[in-house]
A and B are shown apart, each in its own frame.
Chain A
Amino acid sequence: MAKTKIPNPDELGKIDYTPPKKHWMDIPVEIKPDMYCHGAKAKSLKVVDFPNARDWTPAEADWKLPEDWKKIVLEGISERLKKYRTFHVFMDICVRCGACADKCHFFLGSGDPKNMPVLRAELLRSVYRKYFTTGGKIFGKTAGARELTLDVLKEWWYYFYQCTECRRCSLFCPYGIDQAEITIIGRELMNLLGLNIEWIAGPTANCYMKGNHLGLEPHTIKSTIDFFVNDIEDITGVKVEPTFNRKGAEILFITPSGDLFADPGIYTAMGYLMLFHELGLDYTWSTYASEGGNFGFFTSNEMAKRLHSKIYAEAKRLGVKWILGGECGHMWRVWHQYHNTWFGPMDFLEEPVSPITGTKFANAKSTKVVHLVEFTADLIKHGKLKLDPSRNDNLVVTFHDSCNTSRGMGFFEEPRYVIKNVCNHFHEMPDDTIRERTFCCGSGSGLNASENMELRMRGGFPRANAVKFVHEKHGVNMLANICAIDRAALPPLMDYWVPGVRVTGTHELVANALVMKGEKERTVNLRNEPLPEKGGDSDV
């Protein structure tokens, strides 16, 4: 897909952090190949009735903007200042202390000063000052204010799609200024002009009409999962029997559709199926609510709400008691921080209780959505799973905390508890690169396309660098995570920066270790690779 070949790692790793001599306002944006995604297609935007839908090309000078684009943007800003205290406060209080500067993976991987979160925010703030503050109107550039021009608009587009909304900067900011929030609003403004990227607009349209980002139709979802069922039977001798759109099930299970699509996500999906079967869980999949993730969230808050309303509509229609959610990063940010506000109160559901252990999920009593990893952690804690971690003995595992579950939730111990119970060899990456300080995969917030591969490799550099550290120190060869975008984005990142490290979802590890009732002696893992020899402690 990529038109030009991106430089090799040695070359890409030479990063110069020295800012240019010229003032940033005097350096016009250069839309560099391999650093941006294709523009949104008219047909994708039309599906969801977005304004100014048209085919356009970012590299071309003419973006075919509507005549009154400037007015649309300024009115858009004005409206959002009145709707979001975050936006309003964040436009005003930054002191430019620079604490956030070297916290951004895109800055660390590119050295481009406009990727320092403070400056990425100033791109928008400068226009805010010019049109919405007295000082900016009077003093202009001296006050850090500038006119909204076509160049400025293009600069916004380029850099708001060079932010993965990971919130790492927000953690270190003394005022909690959240670049993700500024990017979210910046992208909303872009969407008023039809300036989305196709990698987001396409999945959004798919999700709206067909229920999931990949555009899998109901029969395809079923046949895909049937395919997993056969594989599981081949490997374990156990036939799992999932159901679809089944009324009266106790639990509705929803996961990102990415888990149904490609290696290694599919092994995670097989892991879900095996675990639920082993527990005898009364659950159902839905082909209508077949997406846990939400690319609408990378478009506008309204679009995010439009996509996820089907989750509760489906729960109501099927009459389930509560909802269980699979492994995904941004999905859980949205489920955790937005769902209750959008769709609550969920009084047609019941407070979730694990049917196996009787544990009440008190921290989910209002939304009635439980994270599968916390569900599994509870099972292990109560000794409800028979596990043979030695089946994962060929793996030396480290764990990548997803940005969204880390800084939008605080989900750290649950996945570690699960992994340490199903793997014998686990090593943490350096402290400054994990948990709340975790580095992004470089491809979040809808940027995991193929045409922007250089951007992704640069953005993922700090993460890869930390993996490389434990790869060299402890021989780590498997990068575990709880996110579908990670499972799609990290394999190429590892191949590029740290060859020899593979990527896995947490429930793939669980399923490999899970000793199922009536299973035959397993000789291969879910990837059809031979299991490590017993007691051999093969390559560790």
Chain B
Amino acid sequence: MGLGLSLTAVIALILLVFAGVKGANLHLLFGAVIPYAAFIIFTIGVIYRVVKWGRSPVPFRIPTTGGQENSFPWIKQNKFDNPSTTSGVIVRMLLEVFAFRSLFRLTKSELKDGKLVHGSDKWLWLAGLAFHWCFLIILIRHLRFFTQNVPFVIQLFEALDAFFQVGVPLLYLTDIFLVGAVTYLFLRRVVFPQVKYISLAADYFPLLLILSIAVTGILMRYFIRVDIVGVKQLTMGLVTFSPVASESIGVIFYIHVFLVSVLFAYFPFSKLMHMGGVLLSPTRNLANNNRMVRHINPWDYPVHVHTYEEYENDFREKMKKAGIPVEKE
């Protein structure tokens, strides 16, 4: 259900640009107005969502502990999977964000001859990590379009990415890995019965969208050449708020840019917000030091209790008979 719908949506989006640029000559709309709008929606949307989450307090400090706690000096603590200090938490979060620590634990459980067998299963971790890192590096590489003199850092990324010096223009490794990883992430949703069972349109759509963005980008770089001078003129125009959308650039570019715009605009309304959410997750971003440091619940309130006095009133005679000391004889 969700798959067909997502596929249709992505195709419709592509056709829309085609019609808009080729048919109606709306270069400025697709080259500048929509990207601006998408960027604004993205920025405001992400801030709004994070602030909204942030307004919900954290009443209890409930980290999920993934290793030995801080105990006696003679027991070795697992400081990063079960941190008891802020610096430990920072390392835990860095590992979580940059190395997908939790996903790295992944196991697969199967029933074989009536026995459950658990084995390591790193594919999701590997594909997830490859995808996110490649996406980030590609994003950084794209900054060359928004800077007049390309900074050294970006050049360095480009050089490393094209390390093997294959092809003309040089082949970027991230392009291959990204497509490979996204394809895996997509296929597992179609092939693995359990993952398929839980998948929604909201899961297929971003994958297909990103895959289309990657494919159009690759087509542009290696196969269907576009007017690169025109592209840079447009992108620099966007940065300096004086965009000039050239008709000579080629429709593939507009498709690429439009799909990226859709991704940006869609981002704050979707599960892609996990990017911000992981940082706010109270099971990960708090120290396991509850017995050492008190955590305050901002909405704590007094509750009804059954006092000792009431208890003793209920049982005084029985207590006295049993020789248990009482407050009132």
Contact = CB atoms under 8 A, between A and B. Distances in A.
Contacts of A49: 304
B306 A345 contact: no
Interface string B164-195: 00000000000000000000000010001111
A71 interface: no
Interface stretch (B67-75, B215-223, B236-244): B67-75
A83 B324 contact: no
Contacts of B270: 135
Q: Is the interface of B mostly helix, strand, loop or mixed?
A: loop
A167 B64 contact: yes
A288 B67 contact: no
Contact of B274 (A95, A119, A122): A95
Given A337-B290, A407-B64, A381 B74 contact: yes
Interface in B247-275: 269-271, 273-274
**Chain B residues touching A, range:** 35 or more
A305 interface: yes
Interface in B51-66: 52-62, 64-66
Contact of B277 (A89, A210, A417, A435): A89
Contact of B60 (A175, A341, A436): A341
Contacts of A19: 193-194, 196-197
Interface stretch (A97-105, A501-509, A513-521): A97-105
A288 B308 contact: yes
Contacts of B102: 99, 171-176
Interface stretch (B34-42, B145-153, B280-288): B280-288
B2, B106, B311, B325: residue with the most chain A Cβ atoms closer than 10 Å? B311
Given A171-B66, A410-B68, A119 B325 contact: no
Interface in B296-315: 296-297, 299-300, 303-308, 311-312, 314-315
A86 B58 contact: yes
Interface string A164-186: 00010011111111100100000
B322 A113 contact: no
Given A222-B323, A365-B292, A410 B277 contact: no
B124 interface: yes
20 contacts: A14-B114, A84-B57, A86-B283, A88-B56, A93-B277, A97-B124, A135-B270, A142-B5, A171-B102, A176-B96, A181-B62, A219-B318, A219-B322, A222-B322, A245-B324, A245-B325, A341-B296, A344-B294, A430-B118, A435-B67
Interface of B: 1-2, 5, 49, 52-62, 64-72, 74-76, 78, 81-82, 84, 96, 100, 102-103, 105-109, 111, 114-116, 118-119, 124, 128, 188, 192-203, 269-271, 273-274, 277-278, 280-284, 288-297, 299-300, 303-308, 311-312, 314-315, 318-319, 321-325
Interface of A: 10, 13-15, 17-19, 23-24, 49, 81-89, 92-99, 101-103, 108, 113, 116, 118-119, 122, 134-135, 139, 142-144, 167, 170-178, 181, 208-211, 217-219, 222-223, 244-247, 287-288, 301-302, 305-306, 309-310, 313-314, 317, 336-342, 344-345, 359, 362-367, 369, 374, 377-378, 381, 406-414, 417, 430, 432-433, 435-437, 461-462, 465-466, 468-469
